[in-house]
Amino acid sequence: MARLHLCELHDQPWFPAAWRDLLTDYLSFYARVFRPYECVAPLLAEALQRAGARRIVDLCSGGGQAVLSLRPGLERSGLRGLTVTLTDKYPNPAAWRRAAACGGGAVESVGEPVDAARAPRDLHGFRTLFTALHHFRPQDARAVLADAAAAREGIAAFEYTERNFLVWGLPLVLIPAFVWITTPFLRPFGWRRLLWTYLVPVVPLVAMWDGFVSCLRTYSPRELEALVRALPDGDMEWRIGRVRSLGLSRVTWLIGTPSVSGC
């Protein structure tokens, strides 16, 4: 199936921030409880060690829990003392304050919008994107990778969706029911969450649609290889692959680290 860059609602500038935050709260809950990215902790740990990095700059963070769910696995790999900086084009300060409160001083955030393709040069650290690279069209995805290469910062992108509806068909159909079931466990639980989840089911329906579009947008390993080949020649080493995650799902990953010869 060819990649289709359809419209994900929650990454549109006109999408109401209140709805976006409710949706990213749900996605953060899923990442924290079910840990679909736990399987990539060894890969990220190795990349951080290769890059000599002790700070992760997470791009397109949403609620931030995807990257934070890897902290125990990274610590088991011997990476202690890591700090994580959360950033997004559409910051979610409330969610990030909650993450920082539980982070033991190791979680920070940037309150201003951060463009993943034009990250501030004073924002040093190994860059990560979780369920985010598919938001970018190929030329923009190349710009995200090229920006990290130009700054000589490592970068890793992980996606647990893929264009395989034998695996994803049923889970996508069940997303609204899953949102309804899990919402009482989300915090804070206020009237907005009740209104836009149950009375007017914006959040479950947008979650289902955006999940469907995410699958259609997700790059395959071959397409990621094409993105990397089109980058300007530089001193980066690129690796691409897939690893088994929850059930039948797989995480597609791309990791770039500055080469030693380029130092």
Query: Is residue 233 scored above 90 in pLDDT?
Result: no
Q: What is the pTM of this model?
A: 0.94
The stretch 178-198 carries a mean pLDDT of 94
H or E segment and range at residue 253:
strand 250-258
Q: What is the pLDDT of residue 248?
A: 87
CA distance linking residue 212 with residue 161, whole number of Å: 9
Collapsing DSSP to helix, strand or coil, 85 comes out as: strand
Angle, helices 138-150 vs 221-229, to 10°: value is: 60
Domain boundaries defined on the chain: 26-164+218-262
Q: How many CA atoms lie within 13 A of 74 on its CB side?
A: 22
Query: Is residue 44 scored above 90 in pLDDT?
Result: yes
Q: What is the pLDDT of residue 263?
A: 42
The stretch 62-71 carries a mean pLDDT of 95
Q: What is the pLDDT of residue 262?
A: 46
Topology annotation, domain 26-164+218-262: Rossmann fold (3.40.50)
Per-residue three-class SS string for 133-161: HHHCCHHHHHHHHHHHHHCCCCEEEEECC
How big is the chain, counted in residues? 263
Angle (CA) 44-231-39 rounded to 5° is 20
Q: What is the pLDDT of residue 260?
A: 72
Query: Is residue 247 scored above 90 in pLDDT?
Result: no
